């Protein structure tokens, strides 16, 4: 085993992709921008696996992130010249195919690159045997030890399939420091650093609630994790790049798409309630004191199926009698349909205002969404009927959408299998196949009891104001569930927030959540509360249950809601 850098006590790991479709030039920007030891990229998400699954249906040789191949064509020589290893999960459903394609790219460029890959996550062929049904794709979340084996064998590039997002960072760190499988605190520290940088510029000012405080958000730089032997890290970015790295931008990414205080993975469970954040200089934030525990005995499996076909038509309602106009259009359309689809739903968005100065401000939107296993029932048979209302319905009838055929939609569900049932194979640069054992020590995952809460802030004079006047938030999707993380800067604000923003109050502020199961988790070290809203997103992102199918704006909606806030906290 050899270290990946000249410094035995530090490894500098950058990120150049937070999703499939992220900034193409980021790989070159990161390689040219300053010193790195490893460059990582996260290309996979629940929706991406469905997209790649449909690619593979058309061509069995596909199933990987095609943009990654073009990035390597552009940057492989530069990476080799600078001694930067590249680790990415761009292999998607076909890491072996991607590795082979990269070898062809290297040969075409006349470069000697050692390319390895990790496989075993694809359980599609065994789904029924494992009790997972008959999905289009079934991929277990593997951990980092396959990456470790590839890097220790001298790989310049390691591509994987469905691993946990943080594994692309944990793998290089574990290889460099020679960590063992039970060095849980160090492993957990690297997992937290990986979680911070995995979504690219979301750690450097992107999607940041207090974005108006940032001097330069024109083109945020991508993040870098400087990880030390004990698992502590400093999050930073290349000098001269846009955006900012602050305690709050790092906290924002820590709150993204999490559940409770235990952040479980196949290699370690990180305790999010142990994290300490502190400023360590300009655009430098230290993460330390992270504690880890043995991982759970099961692996999460990403299951995607084709749920059927979907279509929608959106009516514009202008001026007076909006509710009556919507009722008429709904009644007519449902009566005129020759065959009713399996699912038919209506949403009225009251964007209109009285005595509006523009026609757009006087208008509301009425959306009808239909789904059915039969594409004919949601195709022209639906859309043409909607258009036929144009001259036969409410005054001013018009549409934002054109009639068209339905399109297939996906359904995401999580599954769980025993880790011992899932192969984890490192295919080294010379073709040697190495089996990676699952964790020998495991621990069942249970919720952390709510910690002792601080004394509530004393009641005094208040002012009606938006929650976002003092609080930041970040929201996202996890299958059909959404999370909303909310945090504040000051201890006094924290005492008020944790006492005030209960599940009951959240449901009052966000009425769409009132009938749903909502759970609150308290993270005192971050002065944060995290809410899990179950089933808000229906059957996952591809199902498009809401106009905001990934719940990206949910936290901002919460911040915009008004409540009585103590005046001294607002000051």
Domain count, the chain: 3
512 and 393 together in one domain: no
Structure tokens at 53: 């699954």
For residues 248 and 286, membership in a common domain is answered with yes
What digits encode the pLDDT tens for the residues 177-201?
Answer: 999 999 999 999 999 999 999 999 9
> Are residues 113 and 254 located together in one domain of the fold?
yes
| Closest C-alpha to 510, from 328, 502, 78 | 502
Residues 6+ apart with CB under 8 A from 416: 298, 299, 300, 301
> Which SS3 state, helix, strand or coil, does residue 117 take?
strand
Q: What mean pLDDT comes out for the span 539-551?
A: 89
Averaged pLDDT for residues 263-284: 98
pLDDT in tens, 67-99: 999 999 999 999 999 999 999 999 999 999 999
Q: Is residue 394 located within the same domain as residue 277? A: no
How many CB atoms are closer than 10 A to CB 490? Answer: 12
Angle, in degrees to the nearest 10, between helices 66-82 and 95-109: 50
Reported as a pLDDT band with limits 50, 70 and 90, residue 145 is very high
In percent, the amount of the chain with pLDDT more than 70 equals 100
285 and 343: one domain?
Answer: no
In this predicted structure, what is the pLDDT of residue 542?
Answer: 84
Q: How many CB atoms lie within 10 A of CB 215?
A: 9
C-alpha distance from residue 97 to each of 44, 383, 436 (Å): 16, 40, 20
H or E stretch at 304: strand 298-318
Distance CA 322, CA 351 (A): 11
- Do 404 and 476 share a domain, yes or no? no
Question: Of the ranges 243-247, 289-293, 431-435, 451-455, which one carries the lowest mean pLDDT score?
Answer: 451-455
Residue with the larger pLDDT of the pair 559 and 546: 559
Do 79 and 42 meet the contact criterion of CB atoms below 8 Å apart?
Answer: no
Cα angle for residues 170, 98, 431 (degrees, 5° grid): 80
pTM of the model: 0.95
Return the HEC string of 141-154. Answer: CECCHHHHHHHHCC
25, part of any domain: yes
450 belongs to a structural domain: no
In a domain, 139, yes or no: yes
Pairing relationship of beta strands 10-15 and 223-228 according to DSSP bridges: antiparallel
| pLDDT at site 5 | 78
Query: Which residue in 524, 410, 426 sits closest to 49, CA to CA?
Result: 410
Instruction: Say if residue 251 is in the same domain as residue 366.
Output: no
Over the chain, what is the mean pLDDT?
96
483 and 345 share a domain? no
| Chain centroid, CA 463 distance in Å | 35
Which residues constitute the domain of residue 468? 462-570
Residue 453 lies in a domain: no
Whether residues 78 and 200 share a domain: the answer is yes
Asked, for residue 106, whether it belongs to a domain, the answer is yes
Half-sphere exposure of 56 (CA within 13 A, CB side): 20
Q: How many residues in total does the chain contain?
A: 571
pLDDT range class, residue 2, cuts 50, 70, 90: low
* Cross-strand pairs, 138: 303
For residue range 450-469, what is the model confidence (pLDDT) as tens digits? 999 999 998 789 999 999 99
Residue 321 maps to a domain: yes
2 is a domain residue: no
Tokens of 465: 């104001």
Nearest CA-CA partner of 237 in 250, 255, 229, 225: 225
Task: State phi, psi for 314 to the nearest 5 degrees.
Answer: -125, 120
pLDDT exceeds 80 at position 251: yes
Q: What's the whole-number mean pLDDT along residues 321-333?
A: 98
Residues 6+ apart with CB under 8 A from 42: 15, 17, 18, 19, 88, 89, 165, 168, 198, 199, 200
| Residues 62 and 157 both lie in one domain | yes
Mean pLDDT of 165-172: 98
User: In this predicted structure, what is the pLDDT of residue 1?
Assistant: 45
Q: Give the CATH number, domain containing residue 390.
A: 3.30.70
Residues 419 and 383 in one domain: no
Residue 496 DSSP label: H
3-state secondary structure of 271: strand
In this prediction, residues 39-57 reach a mean pLDDT of 91
**115-119 and 157-160 as β-strands: parallel, antiparallel, unpaired?**
parallel
Per cent of the chain over pLDDT 90 is: 93
pLDDT at 3 over 80: no
pLDDT tens per residue across span 507-517 = 999 999 999 99
Kindly indicate the confidence band of residue 149, based on its pLDDT and cuts at 50, 70 and 90.
very high
Residue 451 lies in a domain: no
Smallest CA-to-CA distance from 290 within 362, 193, 410, 222 is with 193
Mean pLDDT, residues 319-327:
98
119 and 244 assigned to the same domain: yes
């Amino acid at each position: 085993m050899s270290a990946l850098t000249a410094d035995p006590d530090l490894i500098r790991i950058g990120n150049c992709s937070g999703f499939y479709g992220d900034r193409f030039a980021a790989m070159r920007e990161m390689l040219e921008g300053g010193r790195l030891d490893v460059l990582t990229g996260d290309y996979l998400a629940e929706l991406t696996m469905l997209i790649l699954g449909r690619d593979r249906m058309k061509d069995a040789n596909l199933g990987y992130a095609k943009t990654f191949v073009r990035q390597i064509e552009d940057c492989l020589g530069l990476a080799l010249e600078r001694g930067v290893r590249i680790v990415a999960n761009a292999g998607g459903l076909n890491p072996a195919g991607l590795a082979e394609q990269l070898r062809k790219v290297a040969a075409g460029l006349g470069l000697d690159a050692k390319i390895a890959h990790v496989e075993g996550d694809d359980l599609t062929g065994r789904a029924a045997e494992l009790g997972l049904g008959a999905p289009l794709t079934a991929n277990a979340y593997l951990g980092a030890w396959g990456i470790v084996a590839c890097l220790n064998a001298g790989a310049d590039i390691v591509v994987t399939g469905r691993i946990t997002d943080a594994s692309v960072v944990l793998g290089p760190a574990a290889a460099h420091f020679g960590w063992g499988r039970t060095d849980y605190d160090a492993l957990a520290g690297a997992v937290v650093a990986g979680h911070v940088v995995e979504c690219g510029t979301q750690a450097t000012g992107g999607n940041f609630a207090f974005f108006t405080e940032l001097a330069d958000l024109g083109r945020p730089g991508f993040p870098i994790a400087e990880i030390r032997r004990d698992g502590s890290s400093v999050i930073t970015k290349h000098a001269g790049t846009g955006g900012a790295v602050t305690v709050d931008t790092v906290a924002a990414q820590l709150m993204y798409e999490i559940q409770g205080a235990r952040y479980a993975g196949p290699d370690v469970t990180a305790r999010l309630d142990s994290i300490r954040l502190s400023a360590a200089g300009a655009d430098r934030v230290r993460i330390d004191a992270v504690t880890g525990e043995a991982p759970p005995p099961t692996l999460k499996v990403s299951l995607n199926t084709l749920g059927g076909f979907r279509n929608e038509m959106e009516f514009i309602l202008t001026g007076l009698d909006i509710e009556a106009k919507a009722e008429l259009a709904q009644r007519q359309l449902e009566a005129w349909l020759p065959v009713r689809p399996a699912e038919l739903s209506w949403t009225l968005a009251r964007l209109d205002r009285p005595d509006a100065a523009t026609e757009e401000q006087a208008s509301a939107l009425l959306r009808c969404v239909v789904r059915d296993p039969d594409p004919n029932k949601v195709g022209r048979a639906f859309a043409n009927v909607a258009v036929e209302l144009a001259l036969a319905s409410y005054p001013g009838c018009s549409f934002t959408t054109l009639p068209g055929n339905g399109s297939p939609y996906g359904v995401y569900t999580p599954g769980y299998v025993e880790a011992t049932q899932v192969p984890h194979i490192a295919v080294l640069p010379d073709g040697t196949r190495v089996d990676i054992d699952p964790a020998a020590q495991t621990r069942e995952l249970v919720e952390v009891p709510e910690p002792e809460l601080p004394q509530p802030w004393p009641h005094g004079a208040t002012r009606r104001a938006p929650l976002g006047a003092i609080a930041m938030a970040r929201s996202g999707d996890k299958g059909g569930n959404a999370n909303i993380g909310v945090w504040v800067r000051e201890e006094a604000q924290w005492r008020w927030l944790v006492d005030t923003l209960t599940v009951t109050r959240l449901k009052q502020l966000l009425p769409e959540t009132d009938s749903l199961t909502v759970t609150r988790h308290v993270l005192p070290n971050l002065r944060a509360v995290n809410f899990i809203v179950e089933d808000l997103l229906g059957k996952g992102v591809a199902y498009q249950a809401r106009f905001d199918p990934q719940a990206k704006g949910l936290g901002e909606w919460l911040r915009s809601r008004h409540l009585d806030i103590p005046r001294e906290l607002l000051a």
